[in-house]
Each structure stands twice: as C-alpha cells, then as structure tokens.
Structure 1
C-alpha cells in the first residue's frame, strides 16, 4: 500500500515543532516490498505492442483552450490533431465535467474523433480521457464508459485524486485492457521548495508502485521548473529496471525494481516546435 507507506514515513514527522524544515530526497524500496505491488497496468513494452508503434517517441498534445469548448468542438479539435499525425491528444487536468461540456458528451465525441482518424490513417490513435472524479465510484464509472466505447486510454490526476483511488483505477485498467495516463497536478506544492517537502523522484517512485503507464516527468526547455540532469534522472527512474546512484543527477539511492513494468515519461509543459 503506497498510502500506508507514506503514512508511516512522512505522516507526522513533517509537523514536529522541533523541526524548522525537512526534506525527503529519496526512498530505497526493498525488493521484497517492491514485489508486493503490481505496478503499472501494462508498462512500456505492452503499450507499444498495443499501439504497434516502435522505435520512436509517441507524439501528442493537449487541446487548448483548456476550458470553454463544447463537446462537439472539442471532438473536432481532437480529430484534426490526430488526423494531422499525432498519436494522442489529451484532456487538460482542468477538463472534468463542467456545464459547457459534460464528461459523457466529451467521451462520445472524442471516441468518434479517434475512430474517424484511425479509419483515415490506418494507425491506432488515442485521447487521454480524464476519469478523475470526486469519488472512486464516479471515477470507475467513467473508466467503464471509456472501455465500452473501445478507446485505448484514460487519464487520472494521481496526487489530487489520491493514491488509493489511483491504485483502484490502475487495477481496473489492467483487468480491462485500458492504458492509464497520469497527470501530476499539485506536485509542485509538495516538491518545489528545496528545503522542505519531498523530491519529485519520491512521488515518481510511488506512482510506479501505485500504477500508471505514463506520467508527466517535466522538461528542461518548457514553461515549468526543471533542471536537465535531474529531469534525466526521473526518466531513468521511471523506465529502467535497475538504477545506479549518480550524484550528478541528484541525491538518490540505487534502486532495483525487480522487473516491475516501466512507466513512459512524458515531456510536457510549454513544448513547441522551436524546441
């Protein structure tokens, strides 16, 4: 249980009056404990097999404006992006179920866009449908509807949604053939201060154990904070089976993932053609 792990390690100590500040840089997860987790629903290799796309990055974009479009116009934007050559389009984390675009309508129009683009290009396409909801029952309901539509992937905000909800959704996705994209909304509240909180690599390790096929790992050149070597360290941590400590990439331990499937790191946040 990732929830129980964090309760035990960081539950009370950060609130002690005797401490002015405290920073958790990394955790070494024992291999015996790693084996108790199922990890990502599918992993990198299975995803590439599902999509039949090898030897290159997967290319996607987030639909903008993030809020305000009707479901029909949103679906049209998805179709144009997918037809133009992208592998994926994505709901922004703020897109949920607002009066101007209810989630069920969005799912239907996006599924139509996916099937139309697939028929015209001969490629497998997808859209990260945001299943994040106010309770676990509603979240699973949205994932069930996505599966019934036959789309390949759903999305979850794992920090705002919580690790318990994320693990439940991961189990559902594994059992029903859905890929799971993870957005890290709220991470900077926890990890941006250099003298207090916890490093993003801890949150990334927790996600690999909780379950997710993709996670936003940041980018060196975009609009969000992130240093080159540190970001490359996240990439190794998420993808590789064994990670050696490397002080040039931050303060962290050697980690053996004992064949836990890898997570696809997503470079996101202000990427444009000049990068």
Structure 2
C-alpha cells in the first residue's frame, strides 16, 4: 500500500459527496478555486481521494456551531462515515506532517457541523522511518521482572506538594508493600518544591536497595516532561542513577519531542495522555483513541494510558476497553512490526474492576494497573492494598468470582467491603 488512508465521522447540511470533495481538496493539492498549475495529471498524482461514503442518520440540529454558514429552519444535518486516502508522495513518512494532513485545517471547514478522525492505515514506509517502541510489552516485563499477570502499580500521591525526601518516604512504603510499578503524577515534573534530580537521588537508592533484597527492580516512571534539552538531561540522570523508566505527558511535549527523545532514550517511555478530553469528549469532534494512539506508538512510546473501567472521568467503559485493545493490535501486517505497547489502566482503580478489566482485555494480562486510593486507602495499609489487587487479578485469571476468592484472602475481602459497595 502506497497510500495513507483515514476514516472520519462527518456531519454536514450540504450534499455529502460535495462536502467530502472539499475536505479532500483542502487537505491535499486543492484550494478555494482551481489554479492553472492544477492540471488533471497533477491532481491525479497529488489529490486526496474519497474512497468510500457510508450514509448514517440525519439530525435536525448541528452538533457544532456553524456561525459562518447559518442554515434555514428545517435543514437536516446528514451524518456519514467516509474514508479518504492520500498519496505517500505528498508528505513522505513524516509523523508531524501526517498529523497536519489528517487532523489539520479540515476541522475548520465551513461545510461541516461535525468531523471526527476515527482510524488510520499507513504504508510500511512509516514503520521504516519512525522509531516505534524500543521496549514495548516484552521489554517492560523483562525490566520489571513481572513475567505474567498485570503489573500492579500506583501514582505517588499527593500529586504535588511533597519534598524529595517526603516523596522517597512514600516510595519506601510502596516498595515494602510489594508494588511492581510506581509513577510520578503528570503534574509533578521539575517543580521548585520537588526538583527532579533531587527527587531521583532520594528515590533510586531505595529502589536499588530493594532490588538487592528481592532480586527484582521496581519500575519507577519519573516524569521528565519539559523542553527537549531538559528531557534528555533528565533521562540521562535517571539512567545514570539506575532507573528503568521515564514518563512524558504526550500532548504537552508533541510528536517531534517524543520522537527526538525516543532516538536518544535508553529506557522505556511511559506515555501519559493528559489533555485527552480535548480530542474525545465531543462525539462529532476530535479523534478516536484508535487514531490518536497510532501516532504515539510510531513516535516510540512503550506504555499508553487508556483510563480505567468505572473511572472518575467522563469516558465510558466500552471506550476504555476499545482503547486498551487498540494498544495490543498490530499497527502493520507482517512482515511489518506490530509496535504493540502496554496499556495503562488508571483512575479510581481498585480490586473491584479486576474481572471486568480482564474481560475487556480478552483474557490478556499485558497491562499496567495503577491504583492510587485502591492501594493507599486500603484499611489494612499499603501492603494489604497491593495484595488485594494481586488477589483480585489472580481470581480473574483463574475464572473465580471475587467474592469466592475473598473467603480465603483477607486483603481482598477488606477491599471489596471498602471499595465495592
């Protein structure tokens, strides 16, 4: 395949075919009027094509305002699923230009009262040009020493306000409690109350001491989000200190920032999707996770946040489940690389969601489950909170109900009583 393809959900008061042709022209070689240089041969070589149109329902009010194209009363707004394609020659395998092409000015076109990018299919040239994940699922399991089952993790809380020494005290409790994975909050990077290098220097001796005692190095994702030179410098500090993971807020750093970091990086990149609601909350605007995650997997992240079931945010369980499965779906057909990454469940996660989460994953256990209050607020303490998560996911893997498993596992019983009314 030498063409880039993308599917969209659109809504328009105009004739659908005409609106789609405007969309294809705007995002390739066309403009508001045909130019002398835009010959038929030129358009054949460089124009985007409308590959298919599937008409859906119509509605009597626009999903998004149309102040510059007001419509008369009684207008119907037709929805459709459309698929467009572009010649690879237009942009080459450039992630940044791909984003500008597939998710650029088309959102502003007057013809549309709704437009959402659904999915992306790319030629193998992108697999060859883009770095992709360096560690992915297998590398994460190897570095963390967790060969099977989910990695049980948590987020350092309070998110901000702790000094480096106070942060280390929390980490010490988590290490002693048997945690697999610890991450900074996305709000904690290099603030004046908790400077990055001081935080790393306070935490890593504890991690290495714990490794000497147990033979397993707990993975700590230090948040290096910042300017490019700062991210490189902080990555190098984590590496020199013996760390095994760094974290970036993807939307804050951008595709070019992540790609640059990936080519420098010697550690897994934990990708946080802070700001995801800007793309997802309006059903007729933005993009689906299936499309969004394609860019970041190609850029080189190894883990991707997908929210969690029964979360505190606005996302449905079906959407969360689809996002997690997308992380495990190969980006390219063989012989291209799969570029699969570890989905990260978070937000209000406790032992209660274990069975539904495993079901959403189709029985696969390649995931990181980060539970904040579900571990730290367990009535038996942090160690009991960690054990309750392990017991819950063990029950799910074995096809045992949580209630039945809790009869012989006190920590799980306490978690169910506390968190699962």
Calculate the TM-score normalised by the size of structure 1.
0.88
Alignment of 1:179 with 2:303, yes or no, is no
Which residue matches 1:267?
345
Alignment of 1:218 with 2:296, yes or no, is no
> 4+ residue stretches of structure 1 with deviation over 6 A?
none
Distance 1:98 1:36 in 2: 35
Instruction: Name whichever structure is richer in strand by fraction.
Output: 2
Secondary structure at the residue paired with 1:25? strand
Which residue matches 1:250?
none
Alignment of 1:131 with 2:224, yes or no, is yes
Counterparts of 1:1-275 in structure 2, within 5 Å, are 1-133=94-226, 135-173=227-265, 176=266, 178-241=267-330, 256=333, 258-275=336-353
Instruction: Report if the CA contact (8 A) 1:39-1:260 is conserved.
Output: no
Distance 1:273 1:100 in 2: 33
Q: What is the deviation of 1:227?
A: 2.9
Secondary structure at the residue paired with 1:100? coil
Q: What is the deviation of 1:110?
A: 1.7
Alignment gaps of 5+ in structure 2: 1-93, 354-421
Secondary structure at the residue paired with 1:139? helix
- Number of aligned residue pairs: 259
Which residue matches 2:13?
none
Instruction: Report if the CA contact (8 A) 1:40-1:211 is conserved.
Output: yes
Instruction: Report if the CA contact (8 A) 2:208-2:242 is conserved.
Output: no
Q: Which has the larger radius of gyration?
A: 2
Higher relative contact order (CA 8 A, sep 6+): 1
Alignment gaps of 5+ in structure 1: 243-254
Distance 1:120 1:144 in 2: 26
